[in-house]
Structure 1
Amino acid sequence: MIKADYHLHSSFSSDSETPMESQIEKAIELGLEDICFTEHMDLDYPKEYGEFNFSIEEYFKKIKEMQEKYRGKISIYKGVEFGLIPEIGDQYETLAGQYEFDFIIGSTHLYNNLDPYYSTYWEGKTPQQGTMMYFEKILENIQNYNNYDTLGHIDYIIRYQDIKENPDRNKMLLFDNYSYSEYGDVLDEILKHIIYKGKALEVNAAGYRYGLGAPNPQYSTLVRYKELGGELITIGSDAHKSEHLGCSYDKVEALLKEVGFRYYATFHGRNRIMNSF
């Protein structure tokens, strides 16, 4: 059984209004044993979309307060989700060295200063072109930055691939325009790279919440990762609201067991701990 959530946001992330206490109380209610807050840190995110940054000092202070308040009930860890961009890798490197995070997610949210979440990213592109460009950017990002523990939501872009055709985000593609083989060359390079570097692959349960019928990444990507020798996975709900915490964990666990995974990783002080289902 999955007893940890290692992708979790609170009001320290600019796209969440949920108090940290609410997330913790929900995690305890669900019977989770370990949670790691992974607040957004996108240092060069376009200002017109919002500022994805926060005070690390205030964040650490709040985490310490919560650790003391909930001691003996749940273990709470301090993480961060870096929005990777090659040009500012040195700034992330400084932060990773200066602050004692327990866990770092390396995610790709932007391509040429555009986020696939917004329709402007898709202008002048077919879904296939936009998706390929995004995967190529992930590969570029991880080839240029290495100080992270897990690669976040590798096919994040699929959540928004049909935004022009379906403005209602509850009606997402059920991966009908997405297959591993179509993007296999670049996805293989991404997976081989993180395996070689000893990084984990995140299994992000939010795909179910977005109506995709699968986590990010979906089944064929997880199968290929296993075929290539990948064993390290982390699991998170990507919850920005407490009602989404631990979402669809039963489905995630069943899928991972079907693929052949028997363990998932958690982190404390950037040190990996393997946990059985």
Structure 2
Amino acid sequence: MKYYDQHFHTFLSFDSEEKFENYLKQQPEVFVPTDHFDLNNAGTGFKDDIPDYLALIKKIAVLEADYDTKFLKGIELGVVPGQEAEIQDYLAKHPYDLKLLSIHQNGAFDYMDDIVLKKDKFQIAKMYFDQMSEVLDKFPDGHILTHFEYGLRRFDFSAQELETHFEKELTAIFKKVINRELALEINAKSFGHYQNAELYRYAVPLYQSLGGKLFTLGSDAHVAEDYRLLFTEMADLLREFDVKQLVVFHGNDREFTELP
């Protein structure tokens, strides 16, 4: 099996209008949309943004009749401390094959909101990493930790600043990721649009030094043109650190594939 995209969005996300069929023009062997789930979402006026599960099931049933592609159900879970029980209750009633674990907002603001620019960047980063660490302690579900530097995107952070100011926090986070057997995602939006490739070049060997071996690539596409975005470039970065395999998840099962 070739590695396939494990992070992209469709019309079932609040911030995308893309059709399944447009992604499927690229003839993926496996298709697993990961639409946004964010309760009390500060980024959308504190609404509960929950993808329509019944619409997902119906859409897959229709498409399975017309495509040879294997269809899986994915979701991107934005988690704020205090929401753990409610999210777990939802997941118990709505099973998914792939669950991405993300930190987008803290109940007051999204880490991409303009309000963060009025605050000290080191304080925001500390708040973000502390939230991530708490979520890893208290929320037991998920397969992949996505875009570890999402909360830093509105600022200009260097790898040296991460090492100097936050290596302790990142070491604790990566140990929890490893203990939970989650994968660490290399995110194309982070890598390209937000120009944070150097932060990954710092984070990957730190994660490896602690015993981390599970990696994924995710385009984070919101339009079909970005499907598998920068996969070659991100795979080349992993090759710099002698990474030879990526992992894909099918519920409780996982499989290793070659880098693209």
- Fold similarity call, TM over 0.5: yes
- Pair 1:266-2:260 in alignment: no
Cα 1:51–1:112 change in 2 (3 A) is closer
SS of match in other structure, 1:179: helix
Structure 1 unaligned regions, length at least 5: 162-172
Whole-angstrom distance in 2 between the partners of 1:160 and 1:50: 23
Whole-angstrom distance in 2 between the partners of 1:180 and 1:238: 26
Indicate the residue corresponding to 2:93 in structure 1.
Answer: 98
Indicate the residue corresponding to 2:24 in structure 1.
Answer: 24
- Pair 1:210-2:193 in alignment: yes
Describe how 1:183-262 pairs up with structure 2 within 5 A. 183-212=166-195, 214=197, 218-262=200-244
Whole-angstrom distance in 2 between the partners of 1:174 and 1:254: 22
Offset at residue 76 of structure 1 (A): 2.7
Q: Indicate conservation of the 8 Å contact 1:104/1:150, yes or no.
A: yes
Indicate the residue corresponding to 1:118 in structure 2.
Answer: 113
Correspondence for 1:83 among 78, 81, 86: 78
SS of match in other structure, 2:72: strand
TM (normalized to structure 1)? 0.86
Question: 1:107 corresponds to which letter in structure 2?
Answer: S
Runs ≥4 residues deviating over 4 A? none
Whole-angstrom distance in 1 between the partners of 2:189 and 2:146: 12
Whole-angstrom distance in 2 between the partners of 1:248 and 1:68: 31
Q: Indicate conservation of the 8 Å contact 2:146/2:185, yes or no.
A: yes
- Pair 1:14-2:14 in alignment: yes
Structure 2 unaligned regions, length at least 5: none
Whole-angstrom distance in 2 between the partners of 1:61 and 1:180: 47
CA deviations over 1:14-45 (Å, ceiling 9, x no partner): 100111111222x32xxx43332100000221
Q: Indicate conservation of the 8 Å contact 2:79/2:104, yes or no.
A: yes
Offset at residue 131 of structure 1 (A): 1.2
SS of match in other structure, 2:32: strand
TM (normalized to structure 2)? 0.91
Q: Indicate conservation of the 8 Å contact 1:40/1:82, yes or no.
A: yes
CA deviations over 1:81-139 (Å, ceiling 9, x no partner): 1111221111211222222211000100112421011112343x211211121111100
Indicate the residue corresponding to 1:48 in structure 2.
Answer: 45
Indicate the residue corresponding to 2:146 in structure 1.
Answer: 152
Whole-angstrom distance in 2 between the partners of 1:209 and 1:68: 36
Offset at residue 66 of structure 1 (A): 2.4
Aligned length: 258
Indicate the residue corresponding to 1:167 in structure 2.
Answer: none
Whole-angstrom distance in 2 between the partners of 1:86 and 1:213: 26
Q: Indicate conservation of the 8 Å contact 1:174/1:212, yes or no.
A: no
Whole-angstrom distance in 2 between the partners of 1:8 and 1:137: 24
CA deviations over 1:116-171 (Å, ceiling 9, x no partner): 11112343x2112111211111001111101111111111123222xxxxxxxxxx
Instruction: Provide the alpha-carbon RMSD of the alignment.
Output: 2.1
Q: Percent identity among equivalent residues?
A: 26
Offset at residue 235 of structure 1 (A): 1.6
SS of match in other structure, 2:220: coil
Cα 1:17–1:178 change in 2 (3 A) is farther
Cα 1:50–1:160 change in 2 (3 A) is farther
Offset at residue 254 of structure 1 (A): 0.5
* Higher mean displacement: 62-71 or 262-271: 62-71
Question: 2:77 corresponds to which letter in structure 1?
Answer: F
Whole-angstrom distance in 1 between the partners of 2:5 and 2:98: 12
Whole-angstrom distance in 1 between the partners of 2:202 and 2:223: 29
CA deviations over 1:161-220 (Å, ceiling 9, x no partner): 2xxxxxxxxxxx4747843342101111000011011111112121233140528x6111
SS of match in other structure, 1:43: strand
